[in-house]
Every structure is written in structure tokens, then in C-alpha cells.
Chains A and B, each alone.
Chain A
């Protein structure tokens, strides 16, 4: 059996970024970035402003030439895809429209370019809920409508891979809810969705995996399950928790005592703590679970970017810097 062209990266719908680097002048916008996005998943592509997300997506789509490294979709560079719009749908800006074109005209132009039937433009407008604005000039579109039109253009060729840059910007809460369901629907059909976003709560809701960048480098990637493993914490409050604390230690559970006297126990098994409290006659005022918070992880990994300090010097909980712990070989 012979390997497909492009080796293992040639799997339909797989995105492979391998040691991708882009240098603008003296600035390394993207630095030896490597990650893989698997078909049938929604991958959140996260990072603070200037982290290199958009540059990476543009290199992936052949709009920016990498300084070194490769980025492939279905095992080949974007420019080498035989029918690009039928393989990849991408929306990078919410304003890439001629203001004098209607939404329908905009889509029909790219249908023509891709050799798709013009009726496909009507179909995707229906899909994104823009049928009523189809014949309205794009200069009269709200930001939310522009986002939807951008999404519609990604669907023209019914592609297996969708690459979206900040698609939730400008959407109202209803639009964001719709977008969430839309992503799940697309991933459920086995499509690959790579979505960059600042809306971390939304990403946590829909993403199966996340790739987190800071200053052009990968600081963490993995499935949500991998990232959240062991991060759930039980919060316990009461007037006298000392007997319970001893019981927890005896049960092999670890945790800490907060300044307000509450306990934080590293477990997601509240029933076990409740049982121990009952057995030791401890009065509880609160027993709740603090679940994995992507936002918290994001800020801990990208703190240097927000505070202007050196990321390399940041060592949460005394561990090595996050990007050193998690850099892919």
C-alpha cells in the first residue's frame, strides 16, 4: 500500500501547519508554529491581538508567503487545491465586499469564479438567514449581516474545511447562539472548522480543541478534555471546616485553604465531599464546583502579552513557562 501524496497530512479535511514562520522586517510574527486540525472537529484558534492568528490563517490560505515552514490542507498548499472553494471556505474579514454590490451579486460573482451554479448563492443566503437582504447593497449591511454574508461565502462550494477569523464579531446574542449551533452542525457533518476568536466563552462552548498562540508561538494545544483534566475544583464553605479538611487529607484529596476560610479541593466529585462532611458532622454553607475556565487558562498563558511583561519569566504555580511545557516537537 502506498502513502497518499503529502503523507499523513493528505487526509481529507485535515489542516497541517508545520514549523510555519513569518518574519516581517525584524519581527517574527509567527515563529515555528506547528499544529494539526482534524476533520469533524471545531478547533478554536486563540491568542491576544498581535499573536499571529490572522497571519497564520493568511499563510494557510496562500495570501501571505511564509518565510519558512509549510501549511497544508488535504495534504497540499491552498494554491495547489484543484477547486479551492469546494475544498475550503474561508472568511477573514467582515468587510471584503464591494459596497455597490448586493449580497446576492457578491455571492454570484464567486459562484461564477468557482464554476458553481448561480442558484447556490440563493441557497447559502437562506442558510445564513439573509434571504430578505439578498438584494440590498452591502454598504447598507450591519456588522452582523456582513458576518453572515462572509459565512455564506464560505459555504458556496460546500467545502469540507471552514476557516473563520473572528466570525462572532458584531453578532447579537441571538446571532452568537445561531453561530454556535451552526458550528456544531458543520462539525457533525464531519467538516473541519478552524475558528479564531476573542470570545473565549463561546469557543469553550463549541470547540473540541483549542490552539493558543502568544507572540507567534504555540503556548498550548489540545482537546478541551485534555485542557480541563484535573482543573475542576470543589469550593467548600462553612463555619468550621477543620474536621472536614482532615478527613479530605485522609481520603487523599488535595487542595488549599483560601483567605476567607473556604476550601478549594481538586476534585469534581461533590458527592464524596458531601458524604465526608455528613460523616464528620460538619455544617456546610456552600458546596459547589468551579469548572474549567478557558478564559482563565488563556489569560494565564498569554499574560505577558496583556501586561507587557516577558512571557518566559511567567511560571504559574512554579512550573516551567507554559510554552516550554507544551511546545510541540
Chain B
């Protein structure tokens, strides 16, 4: 397994993709942080609302789409460039390969997640400070940061599973990004669906995991599972995708 992880790390480091993917991860986190911090400060200054520290410091998860893409690349690149053949000649055990990839991509995601959190802090803390707003890490913020970190890791693995199931790289990208950017948001607003389907969907589970456990806007009638349950459900979705990808796709003939 150590050899496989070394090989995967080398495989990724040997291209510039890992470097270029830092840009969207950092940019998406920066945009989310700017939006959340600006909105919170605006509400505070104009309506006297309390600063939403929890929301500000969990927007590192905004880089999730980049982590999803990195995960998708993990296996689809092998199929796209036909390197799956020499890879399977070196590592004939397909489940071993999948587990090795999952560990490797969790390691990559760790570094990206650190970058996202650093970007979040680097924008929000000086901004709040400049406005004379005390930076407080109460309000469940430490737990929220940890959850945002774990959510990024799991999102990368979710992408890996999606890429194992949908071997076509372009199709996997479109499905993954379209789902998290549009479909999931739609599910969260459609009556009945938002009560009975959205909370159990991957997007709803991830949303619940990142939330601070309260239904913030009751007017929106948003329904979520409890954060821990949401995290566990998203983990189950990730494992189901990896398992299904391993079973249906990786076990197919490589011709």
C-alpha cells in the first residue's frame, strides 16, 4: 500500500494539475469568505445583527468544488489517458487500487483543505479587525472549522467515487459540478422535496454537517439533519459511490 501511495503522489506531482487546482480552491474559498464576511458586517452595521462568526469561519468549504474536481480526476484521468492499463498491471488488485487512491487523495485533500482554511482566516480576520470588530472563536467556531475541514476531505473522496462510477472525465465533471452548484440548491427550495428528499441527499447531508445545528432561517423552511447525522450520511454517500464505482466500473473489463 505504501508503494501505491508513493506512486499516486508521484503521479499527481508529476503534472502541473495539482498546482493549478490550488488557484480555484483558494479563489472559491476567498469569494465565499468575502461574501459571508461582507454580508455579516453589513447586517451588523445596518441592522445591529450579531456578527455570524460561525458562518464566516466555515466558508473554507466554499473550495469544495475544487476538491470535488481533484477527486474526480483521480480515476478518470487514468481512463482518459489509458494509463489504467499499466496501473492495473502494476497493481492488479482493483480494490487495493481503489483503497490506495482513496488514501492518496485524502492526503492531497488534507493539504488543499489547509490552504482553504488559511485563505479563509487570512481574509476574514484582518477584515473584521480593520472594522474594529473583535475576532471571536466562540460560537462553535472551532468545531465548525474542523467540520469544514472534514467536509473538504470527504468531498474529494466523493469526487473519487463519482469518477470511479462515471469513467468519462467530462461527464463526471459535469454531473458533479452541476449537482452541487445547481441541483442540490434546487432540491433545497422545492416544496415537499426540501422536506423529504433534500435532507437525505448528498448535498443536504453536507449542508447539515457544516451547519451549526440550528435552522437559521425558519422563513425558508430549510430542513436539515443534525450536523453529526449529516456528516455520517455524507460519509455513507461517499462510501456508496466508492463501493459502487469499484464494483460496477473498476470491475469491468479494461479493453
Of B81, B90, B91, B253, the most chain A CB neighbours within 10 A belong to B90
Q: B90-118: which have CB < 8 Å to A?
A: 90-93
B217 adjacent to chain A (CB < 8 Å): no
The residue of chain B having its C-beta at the shortest distance from the C-beta of A157 within the complex is: B90
> What CA separation (Å) do A100 and B88 show in the bound complex?
20
Please give the residue numbers on chain B whose beta carbons come within 8 Å of chain A beta carbons, in ascending order: 3-4, 6-7, 10-11, 14-17, 77, 81-83, 85-93, 251, 253-255
Point out the residues of chain B lying under 8 angstroms from A101, CB to CB: 14-15
Q: A109-B10, A112-B7, A114-B3 are in contact. Are A65 and B83 (CB under 8 A)?
A: no
Point out the residues of chain A lying under 8 angstroms from B89, CB to CB: 61, 63, 84-85, 88, 90
A78 adjacent to chain B (CB < 8 Å): yes
Binary per-residue interface labels of chain A (77-100) against chain B in the complex, 1 for a CB within 8 Å, 0 otherwise: 011010011001010110111111
Are A112 and B85 interface neighbours, CB within 8 A? no
Of B11, B89, B255, the most chain A CB neighbours within 10 A belong to B89
Are B91 and A81 interface neighbours, CB within 8 A? no
The residue of chain A having its C-beta at the shortest distance from the C-beta of B254 within the complex is: A63
Point out the residues of chain A lying under 8 angstroms from B88, CB to CB: 62-63
Binary per-residue interface labels of chain A (240-280) against chain B in the complex, 1 for a CB within 8 Å, 0 otherwise: 00000000000000000000000000000000000000000
Point out the residues of chain B lying under 8 angstroms from A19, CB to CB: none
Of B86, B251, B254, the most chain A CB neighbours within 10 A belong to B86
The residue of chain A having its C-beta at the shortest distance from the C-beta of B80 within the complex is: A98
Are B3 and A98 interface neighbours, CB within 8 A? no
| Interface pairs A-B: 8 shortest CB-CB | A113-B7, A113-B90, A112-B7, A79-B92, A64-B253, A63-B254, A105-B14, A100-B15
> What CA separation (Å) do A63 and B79 show in the bound complex?
13
Point out the residues of chain B lying under 8 angstroms from A62, CB to CB: 88, 92
Point out the residues of chain B lying under 8 angstroms from A100, CB to CB: 14-17
A65-B253, A96-B85, A113-B4 known; 11 new pairs, CB 8 Å cut-off, are A63-B89, A84-B92, A98-B14, A98-B77, A98-B83, A100-B14, A101-B15, A105-B14, A109-B10, A112-B10, A113-B3
A69 adjacent to chain B (CB < 8 Å): no
A55 adjacent to chain B (CB < 8 Å): yes
A108 adjacent to chain B (CB < 8 Å): yes
Please give the residue numbers on chain A whose beta carbons come within 8 Å of chain B beta carbons, in ascending order: 54-55, 58, 61-65, 78-79, 81, 84-85, 88, 90, 92-93, 95-102, 105, 108-110, 112-115, 153
> What CA separation (Å) do A225 and B203 show in the bound complex?
68
Q: A64-B255, A93-B85, A98-B81 are in contact. Are A81 and B14 (CB under 8 A)?
A: no
Shortest distance between the CB of A121 and any CB in chain B (Å): 11
> What CA separation (Å) do A287 and B90 show in the bound complex?
55
Q: Which of A58, A96, A108 contacts B86 (CB 8 A)?
A: A96
Point out the residues of chain B lying under 8 angstroms from A115, CB to CB: 3
Point out the residues of chain B lying under 8 angstroms from A114, CB to CB: 3, 90
Shortest distance between the CB of B251 and any CB in chain A (Å): 8
Are B85 and A63 interface neighbours, CB within 8 A? yes
> What CA separation (Å) do A105 and B89 show in the bound complex?
17
Q: A58-B253, A109-B7 are in contact. Are A97 and B90 (CB under 8 A)?
A: no
Point out the residues of chain B lying under 8 angstroms from A88, CB to CB: 89
| A-B CB contact pairs (8 Å), 16 listed | A58-B254, A62-B92, A63-B88, A63-B253, A63-B254, A78-B92, A88-B89, A92-B85, A96-B82, A96-B85, A98-B15, A98-B77, A100-B16, A101-B14, A112-B10, A115-B3
Are A97 and B10 interface neighbours, CB within 8 A? no
Point out the residues of chain B lying under 8 angstroms from A108, CB to CB: 10
> What CA separation (Å) do A277 and B10 show in the bound complex?
73
Are A110 and B15 interface neighbours, CB within 8 A? no
> What CA separation (Å) do A64 and B83 show in the bound complex?
16
Shortest distance between the CB of B250 and any CB in chain A (Å): 11
